[in-house]
Chains A and B, each alone.
Chain A
Amino acid sequence: MIALVRHGRVPAYALALALLALVFGWHISVGAKAIPLGTVAEALLTYDNTTFDHVVIRDLRLPRAAIAVMVGAALAVAGALMQGVTRNPLADPGLLGLLAGASFAVVILHGFLGIGGPGVIPLFAALGALAGAVIVWGIAISAPGGATPLTLVLAGAAVTAFLGALISMAHLIDEDSFENLRVWLTGTLAGRRTETALWALPWTLAGLAVAFGAARQVTVLAMGEEAATGLGVDVHKLQAAILFAVVALTASAVAVAGPLAFVGLVIPHVVRFFVGHDYRAVVPWSALAGAIYMLVADIAARLVLAPVEISTGLVTAILGAPVFVWLVRARL
């Protein structure tokens, strides 16, 4: 904290937190029935369980806003860590197959085979994310030229399409149990997900804790493995820790909200544009910006075609795709 004050960053962090609070309140006020911001503040500060709006806010809208914060922060930090450690500007849980692996595992193990309750969903998602990452890495590294940003993204696209096809096949076989999952697979914050979110929260917190703890070393690792070793970073230990953090963060986000595309790609790039390349700044700012971005995306999902609500995942894909195209043009 002292270091932050000395670097003059505290006012900026305070401003961002204020913005987060504002967007958070706005998110809660938006819905089938618009609730004034004043009532939102009342419900949060002086809750009255006889007031209908207060009950709606507490039971439905507050959890959804909290989930948006959690998921946005998790995906953005996961993307930032992946980009830092792999020195690949296109690293992202979606592009490199982690989202597809996680959703596939959840759909097949939980949805199709009906194994376990909400508590194991994050675990399935984590196993799937890890498997997805390993498969994509394996394909890319055996390509001529090795694991370049390009081969990784191509392998990620292939794995994502393949797993998507398998999910569609499972869907054809068993339409009933898939009705619930269909919306989830497009990435959404709608529906009652509080229980799943509570199970996923420890995963998010563990991932964020590792990310914040390792941020300084990620900056050093971005200089290359040899230089980082020379500077005293235990490269393999750090890579293992970061892999754990990325998988835990991705899994918690997927378990709650399904695969939300491009969040992990877009946010860290925007953040680095403002705060530079020191991951001690990139990680916390990605968490903040990711949370704000996800709140805004979810507000948009409910406003653009109101009263119809579209999937939040469609919004993040529509906003993220142009950034992806720009990155490919500018950085590959």
Chain B
Amino acid sequence: MSEACRDGIQVINEKAYGEIAAPRLAVRGVSIGYGGPPVVRGLDLEVPDGALTAIVGPNGCGKSTLLKAMARVLPVTRGEVLLEGRPVHRRPTREVATRMALLPQGPVAPEGLRVRELVAQGRFPHQTLLRQWSREDASAVAAAMKAADVAVFADRPVASLSGGQRQRCWIAMVLAQNTPILLLDEPTTFLDLRIQVEIMGLLTRISREEGRTLVVVLHELNVAAAFADRMVMMKDGAIHAEGPPSEVFTERNLAEVFSLAARVLTDPESGRPVCVPLLPGVPSLRAAAE
């Protein structure tokens, strides 16, 4: 498609979105690569507003790559990422940072940085040379530290905390950015199950109560199925299945995407799907009964 033609379509789209209320975040025919063959190929995704979207998929399938392109950290080789109907890669980066926050996979804080200082960095996009630190910044930082439950170690160096505590500090930083959209890459990896559940509870709460849009890359399938409003299952740089967890989280999809032989049950308490891997070598009680 020619450049002019594509721009024409884009203008029409923007108009239409102005009237129909654009989804805050959408991915249109995006390909992404690192110089070699594309890692993500022609991917489309409409991120639902005010909901928690979980991206799952095997290691190396391109989840982080997709999230980074959505957050304009990586350029796209084709297609575009639309934020409020406009291509995110061509908008001023500071302006984007007031609309969308990113928690990268495995972030490292500079040595000696204190928790309060880390969380305060989240206010960067809201500050200018003239307006440096306001009451609003202070209250956003305090609220974020409270929400992520890190206020008790506000004055300790981030490096001196446990993995889970540290991860909560980074989440507090992203919360302090106070954006309608949050992109989080594996916010719960390396954390024990209770902390995982706590963090996912926190994320669900801010999407439900504050109407924020969350896109979260997750490895723990059951945690994803339990908390996500929408699930995106990726395989080899493309979306294999997408929809509510009850539709996507099926034995067939797990077998096709993860090559995982598993039984999917329904949690009677929440109605959410739960997967139980079949255990090779462990005798099946059911088979014995039959």
The interface bits of chain B over 129-143 (1 if a CB of A lies within 8 angstroms of the residue's CB, else 0) are 100110000000000
Listed residue (B72, B127, B132, B133) with the most chain A CB atoms within 10 angstroms of its CB:
B132
Q: Tell me if B112 is interfacial: C-beta within 8 Å of chain A.
A: yes
Q: Tell me if A53 is interfacial: C-beta within 8 Å of chain B.
A: no
Closest to B118 in A: A223
Q: A229-B73, A232-B125 are in contact. Are A3 and B97 (CB under 8 A)?
A: no
Q: Tell me if B51 is interfacial: C-beta within 8 Å of chain A.
A: no
The interface bits of chain B over 55-99 (1 if a CB of A lies within 8 angstroms of the residue's CB, else 0) are 000000000000010011100000000000000000001111110
Contact at A232–B97, with CB atoms within 8 Å? yes
Residues of A within 8 A of B95 (CB): 232
Contact at A227–B102, with CB atoms within 8 Å? yes
Q: A219-B121, A220-B124, A234-B93 are in contact. Are A229 and B110 (CB under 8 A)?
A: no
Q: Tell me if B244 is interfacial: C-beta within 8 Å of chain A.
A: no
- Distance, CA A151 to CA B162, complexed state (A): 30
Closest to B109 in A: A223
Q: Tell me if B44 is interfacial: C-beta within 8 Å of chain A.
A: no
- Distance, CA A256 to CA B220, complexed state (A): 60
Q: A223-B107, A226-B73, A277-B117 are in contact. Are A231 and B122 (CB under 8 A)?
A: yes
Contact at A278–B127, with CB atoms within 8 Å? no
Residues in chain B within 8 A of chain A (CB atoms): 68, 71-73, 93-98, 100-104, 107-114, 117-118, 121-122, 124-125, 127, 129, 132-133, 174, 177, 183
Query: Can you pick out 28 interface pairs between chain A and chain B where the beta carbons lie within 8 Å of each other?
Result: A213-B129, A217-B124, A219-B121, A220-B124, A223-B118, A223-B121, A224-B104, A224-B108, A226-B68, A226-B73, A226-B102, A227-B102, A227-B107, A229-B72, A229-B93, A230-B73, A230-B97, A230-B101, A230-B102, A230-B103, A231-B101, A231-B124, A232-B97, A233-B93, A233-B124, A276-B112, A277-B117, A331-B111
**What 14 additional pairs, Cβ within 8 angstroms, besides A230-B71, A272-B112?**
A216-B124, A216-B127, A216-B129, A223-B110, A230-B100, A230-B101, A231-B97, A231-B125, A232-B94, A232-B95, A232-B124, A233-B93, A233-B124, A278-B117
